[in-house]
Amino acid sequence: MLLHGTDALTAAARESTAIPGFVAYNLETVQAVVAAAETSGRPVLLQAGSSAFKHAGREALMALALDTARRSTARIGVHLDHSRDLAEIAACIDAGYTSVMIDGSHLPFAQNVALTRTAVAMAHEAGVWAEAELGALAGDEDVSTGATAAGGSMTDPDQAAEFTAATGIDALAVAVGNVHGFTAEPVRLDLDRLAAIRDAVPVPLVLHGASGLPEEQLLGALRRGVAKVNVNAELRRAYLTAVESALPSALPGSDTVATWAAARDAVTAAALRITERLATAARPV
């Protein structure tokens, strides 16, 4: 049952909860995210995006994500994460994705605005909502490198207001000290900056790089307008840890099915834990 529109996102912002955006790379991770959504009864976003396409192939992963979500009884949006390619965005919209993210954060401000405005127009014409990013996160989307927030650039609240008004986006991904992947030291978000951004823009905020974020930092973000939280590294770690544990008994008989099943179950458990964590209402600040 595909989750269309921004009602769930705006409801999460109003309630100081958040919808998880779970990155999926293959059959097992897609199935795991959907299973977690069915168990929790909460809306989730299944993010089959640009980096995952490099592994699985765009057409194959798009079809897998959409078909699995449509067959589910859960409320699941299928989201294109971190795309820099308008042709890729068009292909995902045509395939049936319910939301897309255009990432022009690497560009100068005016070019980011122009690229984002074009992507938003494409999305809205098809009834799809659009996310964009202002500011830059340190780290790698697909590999934890021990990065620190110092490698990125923070989102400016006044510029965020200008960007949102100029582009018509439905959600804004921000850089407030968050980092892609796990870090050597605990991440400390600039919660005052986050609150200022919330007060400056009329759309829900998105926090990328939430894996391993301390509890008080996560709750602080939910209290300050974050209504979508992207999770990737925690799921990758759950998957690989399960594979590592399963291998000693699986290798003698080359039991790949048991290994894949263990990985899928571990990702389901991690996604369910995160979904329930984000569903806990936090008093707004």
| Residues with catalytic roles | 81
Instruction: Retrieve residue 278's tokens.
Output: 């984000």
What does residue 96 show for φ and ψ, rounded to 5 degrees?
A: 120, 10
From CA 268, how far away is CA 245, in angstroms rounded? 16
What whole-number distance in Å separates Cα of residue 188 and Cα of residue 210?
11
Query: Which residues contribute to the annotated binding site?
Result: 82, 103, 133, 180, 208
DSSP H or E run through 132: strand 129-134
| Backbone dihedral angles phi then psi of residue 60, each to the nearest 5 degrees | -65, -45
Residue 83 phi, psi dihedral angles, 5° rounding: -95, 140
Pull the structure tokens for residue 279. 């569903």
Residues ≥6 apart with Cβ < 8 Å to 43: 3, 8, 19, 37, 74, 75, 76, 77
What does the alpha-carbon distance between residue 114 and residue 249 come to, in Å, rounded to a whole number?
54
Cα–Cα distance, 217 to 3 (Å, whole number): 28
Q: Annotated binding site for Zn(2+): which residue ranges?
A: 82, 103, 133, 180, 208
